[in-house]
Amino acid sequence: MARKKKEIKVELPEAPAVNQPITETIETNYMPYVMTVIISRAIPEIDGFKPAHRKLLYTMYKMGLLSGPRTKSANIVGQTMRLNPHGDASIYETMVRLTRGNESLLHPFIDSKGSFGKQYSRDMAFAASRYTEAKLDPICAEIFDGIDKNAVDLVPNYDNTTTEPRLLPTTFPNVLVTPNMGIAVGMASQICSFNLGEVCDGTIALLKNPKITTDRMMELIKAPDFAGGALLIYDKEQMRSIYETGRGSVRLRSRYSYDKANNCIDILQIPYSTSIEVIIKKIVDLIKEGKLKEVTDIRDEIGLEGFRLTIDLRRGVDPDALMAKLYKLTTLQDDFSCNFNVLIDSTPRQLGVIDILKEWIRFRMNCLTRELTFDLGKKKDKLHLLKALSKILLDIDKAIKIIRETEKEADVIPNLMEGFDIDKVQAEYVAEIKLRHLNHEYLINRVKEIESLRNEIKEIEDILSDDIKLKALIASQLKEIKKKYAKPRKTQLIFADDIVESPKTEEVENYNCRIVLTRDGYFKKVTHQSLRGNDEHKLKDGDEIICSEDAQNVDDIFVVTDRCHIYRAKLSSFDAVKASLMGDYLPAKLDFEDGEKPLLIKAVNDSFKAEHHIIYVFENGKGVRIPLCAYETKSNRKKLTSAYSDASPIVAAIYESEVCDVLIGSDAGRGILIKSSLIPEKTTRTAGGVTLFTLKKNQKVVLAVSGERMAKYEGAAKCRKIKIPATGNPLTIPDVEEMQLGFN
């Protein structure tokens, strides 16, 4: 039997606790993370790209997508993961922003096909990468120009299996043309975009005059230019601060047009820093709060034509005044904060526009120097080889004889070197010439290149030895780029003098209240909080309440009187009172005519709806329904005349929001009860109506009520009629005072 091994347990002593100073912890654990975020992730470099952008574009370049057809975005994302190990979702989101379809950039780098969302919409999602396609836009030729000629350093990727460029050798100041935003640790960067043509002009001017003034640069590069367009309110001093320090803000406001036929405002461009969802939510909130009563509807009408946000207006609203108000209350006018933090030689620096261009010129001169040096080396190598051909041209037969008579292959090169006094590289070149090329024509044509090569080499050496010529070459490249890719400004400039200020309006506090009207014309606005303590109203002797309803302080009140007038007033213009007080005398408050009495009062907090009506009943037994929209005016008139027919004295005015019962009584003690829908609708305000109540000679209608006020009339239910005109049934009127004008 095998012996069972005895387990031996060894207890190791616990490691002693080490007290580490907080400064050392930060230095060893936190600072490497901070520097990685700043240098390798969040802050753009002088080429205008962050590492994620650069890795994606370089991958597409190596895939041949600069000249080839589009490929699926999923394929691009997968290939990019060889350089960027942060996951497919983040890579695709980076790609979306660079596409033409997303409309984030003035000059997109990716020519896209499919749904890539929109920069101006927070909720308009982009399609999955398996559905969309993309390739590099032609402008990327300027981004990668010289990358295959050692213009920039190539460094190992994260797993050391391939290389990627440290920077991209952009032939124009992309850092100012492409907007960029990044949040690092302890610092952030927010770079706005400028117009490509203006940036090229400004850079050329700086190349010619390194001591250019800020004012001159501001004349050439007028102001930021955003892909979303909009209007920029130009502030020269604020702009100067941005150009000199790299910090400041620009104010953008939306562009709009007024559609007179449909009485609506079409918002066509919005500030780059906001979204359509934010604007809609804010406007809806303002409408609910009663602070934007000029608007009846707002809707998103983005379509194939591009961006459009439509705001429907009430009749009589001044669109320019409304927009001036919306600019103050919503992000239809918004600020874009500038913070030009850029990595220069792996060091974050905050620079103004001129300083950024100076650093880009220094960077570009280095790239161009390396590119020219690469070309110079290639041309010198070719010249060196052609010199060997020129020697062979003197005696081709000798070269053939040397090769033919050499017994060993290894001795061909040394024998050619000795026979023609050439070096090993030249001899290798001569030995590799095809037999068919050993003719005078071929050799003479190759030798003719020697002179042109010498001229090209001298030209390159002259440029490399003279910074002025190097800058002139950069300037000529910028002129070509401007000619090929420059576009007109999308963001137009306006000045403070062009701005129409909205009239200052006092903000109205909104709260729930109850409005009360008495027969003698006394009006009260009582808060609900006040009613909790005491809801018993103080009235004048012999007076009674004829109307009571809940309302909001931001509502308007709509008053119909017995003189064919309608008065409008803001409920907020009346002071809130307690129920124990008499209230305001309405005829005095609204400046009624002598002896004029109110018939109807209604709180209006919505548009003038066509399905709502005012029912008028006259002494001659006639009645009419007038739609509320007939009283909508272009201006906010406080008094409207000829509101209804004056052919017969008015008995009552009843507000109808839905079909209701109407009780009509005569001075003979008879009445009819009909549905309001039986009363014909007339669009003409002064229509006399049709006969509702068939009266005998010298009789007249003295009463018309609806709703709860019908309860005190005995026999009302027996007066029901289904057709008009109708004769009345007996109706008991409890009080002789009811023989006066009726109210509702």
**Which domains are delineated in the chain?**
49-169 (3.90.199.10), 255-331 (3.30.1360.40), 367-481 (1.10.268.10), 512-739 (2.120.10.90)
Q: Check residues 8 and 123 and name the one with the higher pLDDT.
A: 123
- The residue type found at 113 is K
Retrieve residue 228's tokens.
Answer: 């979303």
Q: Check residues 91 and 639 and name the one with the higher pLDDT.
A: 91
pLDDT (average), residues 53-72: 94
Q: Are 388 and 426 in contact (CB under 8 A)?
A: yes
Retrieve residue 238's tokens.
Answer: 């604020």
Reported as a pLDDT band with limits 50, 70 and 90, residue 606 is: low
Retrieve residue 412's tokens.
Answer: 């061909």
Using CA atoms, how far apart are residues 309 and 275, in angstroms rounded to an integer?
A: 11
Using CA atoms, how far apart are residues 274 and 650, in angstroms rounded to an integer?
A: 55
Query: Dihedrals φ, ψ of 386, to 5°?
Result: -70, -30
Reported as a pLDDT band with limits 50, 70 and 90, residue 503 is: low
What pLDDT sits at residue 500? Answer: 61
- The residue type found at 740 is Q
Reported as a pLDDT band with limits 50, 70 and 90, residue 739 is: very low
577-590 burial, b at 16+ Cβ within 10 Å, e below that, comes to bebeebbbebbebb
- The residue type found at 660 is C
- The two most distant CA atoms of the chain are separated, in Å, by 148
For 663, the 3-state DSSP assignment is: strand
Q: What percent of the chain has pLDDT over 90?
A: 50
- The residue type found at 389 is L
pLDDT (average), residues 720-738: 77
Reported as a pLDDT band with limits 50, 70 and 90, residue 736 is: very low
Sheet (strand 71-72) strand order: 71-72, 133-136, 110-113
For 293, the 3-state DSSP assignment is: coil
pLDDT (average), residues 15-32: 77
**CA angle, residues 32, 36, 38, in degrees to nearest 5:** 120
Contacts with 273 (C-beta within 8 Å, 6 or more apart), sequence order: 252, 331, 334, 335, 336
Tens-place pLDDT, residues 506-558: 567 778 888 888 888 889 998 887 877 666 788 888 888 878 888 888 888 88
What pLDDT sits at residue 149? Answer: 93
Report the DSSP pairing between strands 231-233 and 492-494. Answer: parallel
Residue 573 reports pLDDT greater than 90: no
DSSP 496-545: GGG--PPPP-PPPP--EEEEEEETTSEEEEEEHHHHHH--PPP--TT--E
Burial class (CB in 10 A: 0-12, 13-18, 19+), 295: buried
Report the DSSP pairing between strands 512-518 and 545-552. Answer: antiparallel
Q: Comparing C-alpha atoms, which of 310, 365, 579 is closest to residue 477?
A: 365
What pLDDT sits at residue 734? Answer: 64
- The residue type found at 638 is K
What pLDDT sits at residue 429? Answer: 84
Contacts with 721 (C-beta within 8 Å, 6 or more apart), sequence order: 672, 673, 674
Q: Comparing C-alpha atoms, which of 226, 191, 98, 200 is closest to residue 485?
A: 200
For 628, the 3-state DSSP assignment is: helix
Contacts with 164 (C-beta within 8 Å, 6 or more apart), sequence order: 54, 55, 58, 83, 154, 155, 157
* 407: number of Cβ within 10 Å: 7
* 661: number of Cβ within 10 Å: 15
Reported as a pLDDT band with limits 50, 70 and 90, residue 418 is: confident
Q: How far is CA 77 from CA 53, 84, 130, 272, 724, in A?
A: 12, 9, 10, 27, 77
Using CA atoms, how far apart are residues 179 and 186, in angstroms rounded to an integer?
A: 21
Using CA atoms, how far apart are residues 742 and 519, in angstroms rounded to an integer?
A: 9
What pLDDT sits at residue 362? Answer: 96
DSSP 324-346: HHHHHHSTTEEEEEEE-EEEETT
What pLDDT sits at residue 558? Answer: 85
Q: Are 146 and 167 in contact (CB under 8 A)?
A: no
Question: Mean pLDDT across the chain, nearest whole number?
Answer: 88
For 122, the 3-state DSSP assignment is: coil
Looking at the annotation, which residues are catalytic? 131
Contacts with 232 (C-beta within 8 Å, 6 or more apart), sequence order: 223, 224, 250, 251, 252, 491, 492, 493, 494
Query: Dihedrals φ, ψ of 284, to 5°?
Result: -60, -40
Rg (CA), the chain: 43
Find the range with the poorest average confidence among 145-154, 409-418, 455-464.
Answer: 409-418
